[in-house]
């Protein structure tokens, strides 16, 4: 177990551990996890960090949708990360407020899904997926444009 000062620093279960602070490491090491220890001067901060396999990225971009008023739109936020990320949705930089049976946010295997039923032109906007895992925060934006008019041909409604 690596130590920071005299305190054990719990690492996620990974095969190789690189316990080397970018600045002021007493001792650097690159050893199989569990076979040795690395003693570091201080906890990670904005200017120094431990590289232990942390990551966060989008698996695909948030979809842009143009759809007719009254229809249903589904926006997907697909992310991967270690530690596993949490996801929240914003519309025009404000948190999306769920409405029973109309605006529904669901956690999925790879992130989150935002479903908006019975669309109105006021639903038009920039929808942001914000993913964070305590190490990093990333944002992806998709545009939902709700237009007046007749329903589009099958397959163009933007929902699965």
For the chain, give every residue range classified as CATH 2.60.40.10. 56-147
The per-residue pLDDT for 113 is 96
Predicted TM-score of the model (pTM) = 0.62
CATH of segment(s) 56-147:
2.60.40.10
Contact (Cβ atoms closer than 8 angstroms) between residue 56 and residue 110: no
Distance CA 80, CA 150 (A): 38
The per-residue pLDDT for 53 is 81
Residues of the chain with confidence (pLDDT) below 70 = 1-52, 150-160
The per-residue pLDDT for 14 is 38
The per-residue pLDDT for 73 is 96
């Amino acid at each position: 177990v690596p130590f920071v000062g005299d305190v054990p620093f719990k690492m996620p279960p990974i095969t190789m551990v690189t316990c080397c602070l970018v600045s002021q490491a007493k001792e650097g090491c690159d050893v199989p996890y569990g076979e040795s220890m690395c003693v570091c001067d201080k906890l990670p901060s904005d200017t120094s960090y431990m590289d232990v396999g942390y990551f966060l990225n989008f698996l695909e971009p948030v979809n842009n949708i143009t759809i007719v008023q009254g229809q249903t739109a589904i926006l997907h936020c697909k992310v991967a990360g270690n530690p596993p990320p949490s996801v929240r949705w914003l519309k025009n930089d404000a948190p999306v407020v769920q409405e029973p049976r109309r605006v529904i946010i669901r956690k999925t295997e790879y992130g989150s899904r935002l479903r908006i039923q019975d669309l109105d032109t006021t639903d038009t906007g920039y929808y942001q997926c914000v993913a964070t895992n305590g190490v990093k925060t990333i944002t992806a934006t998709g545009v939902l444009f709700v237009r007046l008019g007749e329903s589009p041909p099958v397959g163009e409604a933007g929902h699965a």
